[in-house]
Structure 1
Amino acid sequence: MLLLGLISKIFSEQMWEILLKGDEAMELMCPVSRLEDIKLYTQIGVKEIYVGVDCSMYDMRIVSFTGRTKNLGDNNITVLNNFEELKKLVEVAHKNEMKVSFTCNVRIIPEKLKDNYIDYVNHAIECGVDSLIVGSIYGLVLLKSYVNIPIFASTFFYPFNKYFIDFINEFGVKRIILPTALTLNEIEEFVKYIEYKKYDIDVEVFCHFGCSNINGRCNMFYKPPSLCRGLYTVKSDKGDIIKNDINILDSGTDCTICSIRKLKEIGVKSLKIMGRGFPIQLTASLAKCYLETINGIEDKNFLERKNLVEKYSWWKEAYCNDGRCMYINKKSKYYV
């Protein structure tokens, strides 16, 4: 009986290691808005970043091929100034064994800007980026025939069901970035479907921040959180105040610390921190917390939330107390 108990214990521990470690370690994708951002990321061990470049050379003053506005206000720039900076960034990244994903994920590409879009992507490839994040069907069509680096499908596609996987597989897409509105069960359905069809596609999900409502379907260009996460005063038809300081448009969730173990188990390969244009001190601090948790769950006795809150007391007040948890405690609302 003792021998059987010992064998059972060893088997259980080995199965736990297989379950959590898998074939590859879970990646953490972090945003870069300025060339100097990479210095802090290298210090904390980030191995994957995503970045875009200013499109002023194409007379695009407000929006760009990156899927974001250039400036969020208060000098919060979301892109590098030029491709010279991108080349320098890639050199530093590769020297530190870091991969660079290039954002060319604009949702709509007008025919008159088609050549500019291709030129934008070609410049990035010449700079040595490792992958492209694409956000439109037309973008996939334009790039499929000649791009020889991996293409990732942006959350701007907003896949409502797993059969979208069949579509992007025809274009050779290597990673799909799922929206934050999904539940853990729905994410698992995507992963299972990819495994069932034997597609060479990884799944990435947002782990921190994200759209307050529907990813990739917002047409309000603004400095967050002035609209969706702003506080409002609700009045009656007569102008009487019903309630002050209510976040009536805000259904956003921000944190996945308590979901990382499950996401790892079901086969998610990469986590992504949203935050182009955010201060590097903020995104790097978040990255450090997530990397500690990703590494920590290799131990089955590691308590994600307890460990984090004990080390960083501000986390509980910022996220836990408001219940801003991604993927858990949600009711299914999509046909996966």
Structure 2
Amino acid sequence: MIKKYNKPELLAPAGGLEKLKIAFQYGADAVYFGGKAFSLRAAAQNFSYEDMEEGIKIAHSLGKKMYCTVNIMPRNEEIEKLREFLKKLEEIGIDAVLVSDLGVFATVKKHTNIPIHISTQANTINYEACNMWEGLGAERVVLARECSLKDIKEIRKNISKELELEVFVHGSMCMSYSGRCLLSSYMTGRDSNRGSCAQSCRWKYSLMEEKRPGEYFPIEEDSNGTYIMNSKDLCMIQHIPELMEAGISSLKIEGRNKSEYYVAIIVNAYRKAIDLYYSNPENYELPKEIYNEIYKVSHREYNTGFFFNEPKADGMIYNTNDHIREYDVVAIVHDYNEKTQIALCKQRNKFILGDKVEILTPDSVGDSFVIEELFNENGKAIEECPHPGMMCKVKIPFSVEKNSFIRKKLN
């Protein structure tokens, strides 16, 4: 007998306002984002106050939510600015903030009425810690990525029904414990615990013997060398039933620094998988075409992280730090004329007449066609679309909507 929990929230990354719009269009129930300060993704586009206000209006008009990450460990001199930042978040109607520092938690409680979610950076791995956070006033805990499904079920049994649990189910993994890493700070001066990780763990390393300075010995598995700390990407789309039966309230996708296409394709795949499961749990089976979608975006080798067992060598990639990329996004649809079947598009990568391409939309997966008619923005026939960012017009023999992606399989 399948234990029935409420359908979980699908939570998507929003590195900027356009990604927020695409995340909602492709099926996210909520997004998480960072402001220009106090977030652990300094390299992301992040949100200005104006962007936050617009994003909140969009989200709430759709019945969706926005959560702001305030998960750095602030210094003394930052506390006053933090108070001001939090008050502005409350003014615009933010749905929750994610925090990991007790001082930030106390500041939120003292100066605002914003709901609090505990960030994965707080390293919560047991039910007593969850109960403690709830006792302090938290509404949700984002569990550490080191929790197994068994751990999550045990936690769920020993906490109140009101406390929500959130877990990461897809995206990059960190070789350090829940992201608590000093490697980047030591090697580059960029502190990963303040949002500036240089991903030093993914670099190629060699050994140097003390008495042979300048003579490097590769740590090698093969001729490519070894990337001894380069972890695989997390992917749990094949295990939707197990996630659903664990009592998780929110399934989280990593990737605030990733592309709009990444957000669209991954959110779309998980949205369809979750909805299919809840339409018929007893007979659920992940369709092959949905599973195949997650391989049509740039990624590292996939792995299930800590959900089933503690990853050892099978969780690492030792021979390269390159991503696997089998498709290029060649254009994004800006408008479509149903009568003429002409789509106004913005070019992303070169494509030409005769190319066989696929379309990703929120409603369809992998519909393909051959480009038989191609025009520049002014309607003049052209044979290729070579210039990054150029506007062009493409005849698409079926209806598509704004923010549909045209992609081409690489040879």
User: TM (normalized to structure 2)?
Assistant: 0.64
Higher relative contact order (CA 8 A, sep 6+): 1
1:57-206 to structure 2, matched below 5 A, reads 65-69=38-42, 71=43, 77-80=44-47, 82-106=48-72, 108-194=73-159, 198=160, 200-206=162-168
What is the letter of the counterpart of residue 51 of structure 2?
E
Residue number among 226, 229, 245 corresponding to 2:225 in the alignment: 245
Residue number among 197, 200, 218 corresponding to 1:227 in the alignment: 200
2-structure distance, mates of 1:119, 1:250? 39
2-structure distance, mates of 1:312, 1:172? 39
Residue 180 of structure 2 is matched in structure 1 by: 217
Contact 2:207–2:219, Cα closer than 8 Å, also in 1? yes
Distance apart, 1:126 and its partner CA:
0.8
* Structure holding more strand per residue: 2
* Structure holding more helix per residue: 1
Which has the larger displacement, 241-250 or 179-188? 241-250
Q: Secondary structure at the match of 1:149?
A: coil
The alignment covers a number of residue pairs equal to 291
What is the letter of the counterpart of residue 201 of structure 2?
C
2-structure distance, mates of 1:256, 1:206? 9
2-structure distance, mates of 1:137, 1:94? 29
1:38 pairs with 2:20: yes
1:282-301 to structure 2, matched below 5 A, reads 282-298=262-278, 299=280, 300-301=282-283
Can you list the C-alpha shifts for 1:134-166, whole angstroms capped at 9, x where unaligned?
A: 121111111223432321000111124322123
Contact 2:141–2:166, Cα closer than 8 Å, also in 1? yes
2-structure distance, mates of 1:141, 1:242? 47
Can you list the C-alpha shifts for 1:226-258, whole angstroms capped at 9, x where unaligned?
A: 52234x254473644451332201234411113
Which segments of 5 or more consecutive residues in structure 1 lack a partner in the other structure? 1-14, 56-64, 72-76
User: TM (normalized to structure 1)?
Assistant: 0.78
Contact 1:236–1:242, Cα closer than 8 Å, also in 2? no
Q: Which has the larger radius of gyration?
A: 2
Contact 2:156–2:247, Cα closer than 8 Å, also in 1? yes
Query: Given the superposition, is the C-alpha separation of residues 212 and 285 from structure 1 closer, same or farther in structure 2, using an over 3 Å criterion?
Result: farther
Which has the larger displacement, 42-51 or 245-254? 245-254
Contact 1:169–1:199, Cα closer than 8 Å, also in 2? no
Residue 50 of structure 1 is matched in structure 2 by: 32
Between the aligned residues of both structures, percent identity stands at: 24
Residue 9 of structure 1 is matched in structure 2 by: none
2-structure distance, mates of 1:49, 1:254? 19
